[in-house]
Structure 1
Amino acid sequence: MSKILVTGGCGFIGSHTIVDLIENGFDVISVDNNSRSSLRILEGVEKITGRKIKNYKVDLCNFDDTHAIFQENEDITGIIHFAAYKAVGESVEQPLMYFENNIVSLLNLLKCVQEFNVPNFVFSSSCTVYGNPDQIPVTEQTPPKPAESPYGYTKQMGEQIISEYAKVNPTQCILLRYFNPVGAHPSNLIGEMPIGRPANLVPAITQSAIGKIGQMTVYGNDYDTRDGSCLRDFIHVSDIAHAHTLALQYLEKGVSKKKCEVFNLGTGNGVTVLEAIQAFEKVSGVPLNYTIGPRRPGDVIAIYANNEHAVNELGWVIKYNLEDMMRTAWQWELKLKEDETLHTEQNASLN
């Protein structure tokens, strides 16, 4: 089996991708310093796959510790690089932290890729590289506009670094620009676990609905969209995860005509924030307590994908619709609540 290193393997997309990789015959190891994630997620991965995942609790900004992983695993044939800070609003408030973490970690990783001759590299990029596009849907050829946040700039810079690296090294690279991953694994064993108050829409919806964070804010209803709220391309996390497996298989076949190839990962459908809320209320039966607030710095107005390149070249098929996304996210939130209640009861009985 090909051995794949997944960075950020305890994170939302990373954990789902580990499941998909294992289900498709890959051997997987993880590196995650758990600064924004929990090892608990890998317990869920083990229950789903029957495979225990080794995680290196390493900060990729530390080169020596990162290098040691490769010394211990010289048979790594591919890397999927998720590990990065990803909150748009936080990046606006703390830009230097984002530039240092997201760029230094990538540079350290690529130095090891070069030294240990790792043949395949897949980068977790983002639709934020397009900024506020002039036309939607965006294709891979859509000219990037200035990023709306430091987070977006780290993805633009990351893509450029990898592209330049690929020109002078044998490693084959793929940049996956995904749109808005949401939902949870249908097993209810893994899902999104934001630290603190969630910055992303769907966990904010589910946590508000269950009473964890109280009232939710919709940031702006005066945009030039059909209902005034921001428009996004929501895509189920399991569909995103499978695209990473397909990308690795694509690289292993050696069929790419480019040293560094780009793919959009979205459904191709634009959904507004208010429409997403309505979809959640429909599948959950729970009316959401939300208020309309001012626009949030860093938010793109409207964007969704043209995904034909991924569909045609990778053979990617989208399996989950918007209601599936909301249903699985809500079921995961209910499972977290159930586990929390059980844990509280067990502690009470011990006392």
Structure 2
Amino acid sequence: MRVLVTGGAGYIGSHTTLALLEQGHDVLVVDDLSNSSRESLARVAELTGRTADFVEANVRDANALESAFASFRPDAVIHFAGWKAVGESTQVPLTYYRENVGSTLTLLETMARHDCHTIVFSSSATVYGELSEPPFTEDAPTGATNPYGRTKHMVEQILADVAAADDQLRVGVLRYFNPIGAHESGRIGEDPKGIPNNLLPFVAQVAAGRREKLMVFGDDYPTPDGTGTRDYIHVVDLAAGHLAALDFLTEHDGYHVWNLGTGRPNSVLEVVNAFGEAAGMEIPYQIVARRPGDVASSYADVSRAHAELGWQAHKSVADACADTFRWQSANPNGYAQD
């Protein structure tokens, strides 16, 4: 299959690109490198012995996307590209709507012109908000509590509407919970630009001496230790979920939604302690005020993905911490050092 991957040089995108190449698919990555590195794709080529084609462009660039579709002729699209920081989205919401919703509209219009009818969308558990209690099923009420989550929810609605109007369209929406970890080789991993917005890369940078201490946002949530609990899923398991969704869509039309997680919540402090064990050191941290838009607890009911996709997570938080420490130790400055 010929698969166009938007945002394919990023954290989850690079791991999924690697998995696609390993399975024999041809891949074109479209990425503007605003929060990613071309080096990740060079390392994917090193690990797989195969090279993904690459176009440096924002997915909102209709001319660049048109050219990419015309030359590559994809059979399917996996759509990762977008801005993804909850806290930042409350400060610059227009940017999030422009980038996340605008890019999807341009992508869908280009797909239609080129008779590409299959798309897997990178959504988020943030669409569930606070309207129901975890574990969340795919049928739980949605109601995101921040602009980032609302952009994901809005794109889901757009995809559902387009699929309802076009009986050829095959849509897989993947609501992931909290991706962590790195490839076991230590060659590719999460390398955010600026201050990390996610827990594990921040902890890893503290362990590597790049940052003094971790800021834990709130210890007064109604959870066992007062810190927020999340469903942390290893990025390699997450990448496998995208391939399972693609396989499913080859035989099923219409619009489909799946949670990708482990179904098991871990608190912030549990993850910090697990990383400390993997690194053989104590991770310094400071409790600070809650972060706007965060919820107390979020974890998945993954029974639908297991039943329909034959997929489930296999790697643990301990595995993810060990893999992240291996990545960060070998690459203390991320991809920038090469």
TM above 0.5: yes
Give the deviation of 1:340 after TM superposition: 8.2
C-alpha deviations, 1:116-143, integer Å up to 9, x for none?
Answer: 1112110000000001243110000101
- SS of the equivalent of 1:68 reads helix
Give the deviation of 1:317 after TM superposition: 3.0
**Aligned twin of 1:19:** 18
Gaps of at least 5 residues in structure 1 are 344-351
**Aligned twin of 1:34:** 33
- Whichever of the two has the greater Rg, that structure is 1
- SS of the equivalent of 1:108 reads helix
The structure 2 residue matched to 1:297, chosen from 292, 295, 316, is 292
- SS of the equivalent of 1:264 reads strand
1:77 matched to 2:75: yes
Distance 1:175 1:155 in 2: 10
Counterpart of 1:20, as a letter, is A
Q: 1:341 to 1:240 in 2, by over 3 A?
A: closer
Counterpart of 1:181, as a letter, is P
**Aligned twin of 1:120:** 118
Give the deviation of 1:150 after TM superposition: 0.6
Q: 1:279 to 1:210 in 2, by over 3 A?
A: same
- SS of the equivalent of 1:233 reads strand
**Aligned twin of 2:159:** 162
Query: Percent identity at matched positions?
Result: 41
Gaps of at least 5 residues in structure 2 are none
Alpha-carbon RMSD: 1.4
Q: 1:249 to 1:284 in 2, by over 3 A?
A: same
Could you list the structure 1 runs, at least 4 aligned residues long, displaced by more than 4 angstroms after superposition: 338-343
**Aligned twin of 2:145:** 148
- SS of the equivalent of 2:298 reads coil
Distance 1:339 1:117 in 2: 39
1:265 matched to 2:260: yes
Aligned pair count reads 337
Q: 1:340 to 1:303 in 2, by over 3 A?
A: closer
C-alpha deviations, 1:242-269, integer Å up to 9, x for none?
Answer: 01011111111x1x3x610000000000
C-alpha deviations, 1:183-211, integer Å up to 9, x for none?
Answer: 00001111001001101000010001111
Distance 1:33 1:338 in 2: 21
**Aligned twin of 2:189:** 191
The structure 1 residue matched to 2:170, chosen from 163, 169, 172, is 172
In 2, are the aligned partners of 1:206 and 1:330 still within 8 Å (CA)? yes
In 2, are the aligned partners of 1:117 and 1:171 still within 8 Å (CA)? no
* TM-score (norm: length of structure 1): 0.93
1:320 matched to 2:319: no
Give the deviation of 1:337 after TM superposition: 2.2
C-alpha deviations, 1:248-292, integer Å up to 9, x for none?
Answer: 11111x1x3x61000000000011101111111122111001100
In 2, are the aligned partners of 1:198 and 1:204 still within 8 Å (CA)? yes
Distance 2:82 2:335 in 1: 28
In 1, are the aligned partners of 2:207 and 2:279 still within 8 Å (CA)? no
Q: 1:165 to 1:339 in 2, by over 3 A?
A: closer
- SS of the equivalent of 1:277 reads helix
**Aligned twin of 1:346:** none
**Aligned twin of 1:223:** 221
Give the deviation of 1:22 after TM superposition: 1.4
- SS of the equivalent of 1:278 reads helix
